[in-house]
Structures are given as C-alpha cells and as structure tokens.
A and B are shown apart, each in its own frame.
Chain A
Amino acid sequence: MNELKAMWQAIPPASPEELAGARQRLLRGMRPRRRVVTGPRLLVAAGVAAGLVVTPLISGAGTSAYAVAKSPDGTVKVTVNELRDPSGLEAKLAEAGVKADVTFLGQDTRCAAPRFVSVDRAYDGAPAADVSELRSVVEGSRSFQATQVTSIRTIQISPEYIKPGETLVVEFRDNRNSNVPWRLGAWLAQAGTPVKPCTPVEDTP
C-alpha cells in the first residue's frame, strides 16, 4: 500500500492559475443569468480603461505560438505563447467562427486610435471616474463580456456576445517580462464598419 501511496505522489496540487478555467466555469454556472465580475475581468477592465490589460505568461520551450480550441459550451479558448503570425491566429479564429483582427505589437508601442468604431464605451469612451463607474462600464460592455482572461496564458472568447458582422479587435503588446510577457486589449468593432490596419506609435509608460 505504501508503494501505491507513493506512486506519482510528486504531482503537485493545482495552482490557482491551473484552476482559473474551472473556477470561471463554476462561477458562470452559479449565475447563469447575471454574470459575475471576477478578478480577471476587473483586470481586463482596469487594463482597458488604461489602454491595455496585464496578463502574465510563462512561456515554455517547444510549445506552439498559439492555439485555438472550441469548447462544447460554444466558447473559444485561445492560448498565446508567442507573439508571432497574427494572420495565422486570425485564420484559426475564423475557423472557430470568430471574425477577428489580431495585432502583435512590440514593447512600448500601441496602435494609433481610433482604428474602428466600437460597439461600446470600452474602446474610446471617456475614462471611468471611479471604481463603481468602471464596474458599470465593465458590466455594460459586450467587449468585456466577449473576451475574458481565464488563466495566465489564455483568453476565452464567448461568441454569444458578438453580434453578426462585428469584428473582435485584439491587440497584444510585448511586455519583455518573463512573468508578464504580454498585455492585451480587446474590443468589438461595429458590424459593417472597417477596422483600419494598426499604425504602431510609441507609448511609453
């Protein structure tokens, strides 16, 4: 019995990062109608209000640059390990039924705004005056509902929040930090309106 107890004992308990996806699913299942504002979404909110989002990432050797997987519940999980081949990622997303415009940016740069007409205040609306206003912007913005940070290197897209013809615009910025390798901004562009190509401009903190 002791031999059996010791078998694969070195497998560690799961970290909060590994459990983020499962926890998120539980939270959603607990409140099927009213969506709960969780830590990661507030992060998204705070980040986007300031322009961008903080997402830590541990990049491993031998992994592919990105992966797109469709879940049975209709959501699309996107894993981003490396910021390369944006058009390849767009094509993968299109295969999963998500019309997206993906930009990978170098360090300390952003896309000159505005590139498109957003469906809500998330993109170029006036900055929130305080936390409660920020919260109401988050709860009222489909841009935030459509894209959520679910773990240290994944985002989850919920197509139910994307109306026909709308484009999901995502901008990843290289953060040159092994703990926080990239930052993300994600918004929805109105149906039938163009999304201009990104013109990178300097954006030093």
Chain B
Amino acid sequence: MTIPREAVEVDDAILIERSLNDPEIFATLFDRHAPLLHRYVTRRLGPSEAEDVVADTFLAAFQQRGGYDRRRSDARPWLYGIASNLIGRRRRTEMSLYRAYVRSGVHPAELSGFQVEDGVNTLAVNRPLALALMELTPADRDVLLLVAWAELSYQEVADALAIPPGTVASRLNRARHRIRQALSRQGDRP
C-alpha cells in the first residue's frame, strides 16, 4: 500500500476527513500515534495485552471516524479516550500487574528484555506508587495516568473522557493527594 507523501504532513483532523473517502489513509494515523499509545498501554497492562488494545483502539476509531470533531487537530485525546475504555474492561489485568510488581519489583515489560528500572531507589518509590494506583477508583486512575503517562493536558483529558474540565481537576486533585500520601508513608519508613 502506498501512502501519499502529503498525508504525512497534514494534521490528524484532515487525515481523518480524507480517510472517509480513502480509507487507507487512516493507516497514517496508526503510524503516527500507535508507538506511544502502545507504550502507554504497556505501562498499564503489560506488553502481552498492549498489541490487542492498540489494534482494537484503531479499529474502533476507524469505525467511528465519521463522527470525529474536525476542529480537534490532534487525535490523541480521541484515541486515548477509546483506549481508556478498553483498558477499563481489563481492570483485572491492570490490578494484577500492579500487585505482581509490588511483590516482585519487576514490570512485565522487563521480561521482554526492556530495562525498566534503574535500581533500588526507583523500586523504593515505585512500589508505594503501584500500591496507590491500585487503591484509586478507575475514574481517578484514568485521569491521573492520562496526565502523568500519556502527557495530555486537562482539556485533552476532558475531551478524551467526555467529562467537564472541572471534573478532571477534582479527580486529579484527589488522585494526587493519594499519591503524595503513599510517598510520604514510604518516607516515614526507616
């Protein structure tokens, strides 16, 4: 399949619009965003689920592209919103990843050969973080990780999850508070 050169240079909204007549152009959106989306999903669910979630996200996006709001030039909030739903359906996998990490200190991506940790100090910080992530509500966790790991802005998170920016702020405050608590508990230990 040949993707026209110009397709690489236009913004996501134009790509999505063009893909309505020329579906193959949608693959450019995949090439643009799949690597980092895969990384985000790997952090939350591990590498074995990531490929499925990424494929399902883009397939769902492709089906729904007719309803895309073309004023949004960056498709990331849309894509990460779809992915958040799919991750939500795999809550058990996510919880057991955090639990296993707390127990073993090993993220499953490391088993695939990636260096994930820097050392003992990292582990001392990450373990309480993993515990705190487990204790958050799914809605709070989505907001927190979209900001911290997917690097979306408040407004982008609001777009992704279809919630008002005020709700993003309050969920984020609550989640951050939990995270700070978890880290200070850790700091109290000898």
List the interface of chain A (C-beta within 8 A of B): 1, 3-8, 10-15, 18-19, 21-23, 25-27, 29-31, 36-39, 60
Count B interface residues, CB 8 Å.
41
Q: Is the CB of A14 within 8 A of B39?
A: yes
- Which chain B residue shows the least CB distance to A22? B55
Bound: A7/B132 CA distance, A: 13
Given contacts A1-B148, A5-B149, contact A26 B1 (CB under 8 A): no
Q: Is the CB of A22 within 8 A of B34?
A: yes
Given contacts A23-B27, A26-B59, contact A4 B179 (CB under 8 A): yes
Which residues of the partner chain B approach A13 to less than 8 Å between Cβ atoms? 35-36, 38-39
Q: Which of A1, A19, A25, A27 contacts B179 (CB 8 A)?
A: A1
Q: Which of B27-58 contact A (CB under 8 A)?
A: 27, 30-31, 34-36, 38-39, 42-43, 50-52, 54-55, 58
Given A6-B125, A22-B38: 5 more A-B contacts, CB < 8 Å: A11-B109, A23-B30, A26-B59, A29-B59, A30-B26
Which residues of the partner chain A approach B35 to less than 8 Å between Cβ atoms? 13-15, 19
List the interface of chain B (C-beta within 8 A of A): 1, 23-24, 26-27, 30-31, 34-36, 38-39, 42-43, 50-52, 54-55, 58-59, 62, 107, 109, 113-118, 122, 125-126, 129-130, 144, 148-149, 176, 179, 183
Q: Is the CB of A30 within 8 A of B51?
A: no
Q: Is the CB of A18 within 8 A of B51?
A: yes
Q: Is the CB of A7 within 8 A of B179?
A: no
Q: Is the CB of A23 within 8 A of B116?
A: no
Q: Is the CB of A19 within 8 A of B129?
A: no
Q: Is the CB of B62 within 8 A of A26?
A: yes
Q: Which of A14, A36, A38 contacts B34 (CB 8 A)?
A: A14
Bound: A39/B35 CA distance, A: 18
Which residues of the partner chain B approach A37 to less than 8 Å between Cβ atoms? 1
How many contacts between A and B, using CB within 8 angstroms?
104
Which residues of the partner chain A approach B51 to less than 8 Å between Cβ atoms? 18-19, 21-22
Q: Is the CB of B149 within 8 A of A26?
A: no
Bound: A22/B37 CA distance, A: 12
Which residues of the partner chain B approach A30 to less than 8 Å between Cβ atoms? 23-24, 26-27, 62
Q: Which of B54, B62, B109 contacts A29 (CB 8 A)?
A: B62
Q: Which of A4, A11, A15, A26 contacts B58 (CB 8 A)?
A: A26
Q: Is the CB of B107 within 8 A of A19?
A: no
How distant is B103 from chain A, measured CB to nearest CB, in Å?
16
Q: Is the CB of B148 within 8 A of A5?
A: yes
Of all A-B residue pairs in the complex, the 3 with the closest CB atoms, nearest first, are A14-B38, A13-B35, A22-B55
Q: Is the CB of A3 within 8 A of B114?
A: no
Q: Is the CB of A3 within 8 A of B129?
A: yes
Given contacts A8-B107, A8-B116, A18-B51, contact A3 B30 (CB under 8 A): no
Given contacts A13-B38, A21-B55, contact A7 B24 (CB under 8 A): no
- Which chain B residue shows the least CB distance to A28? B59
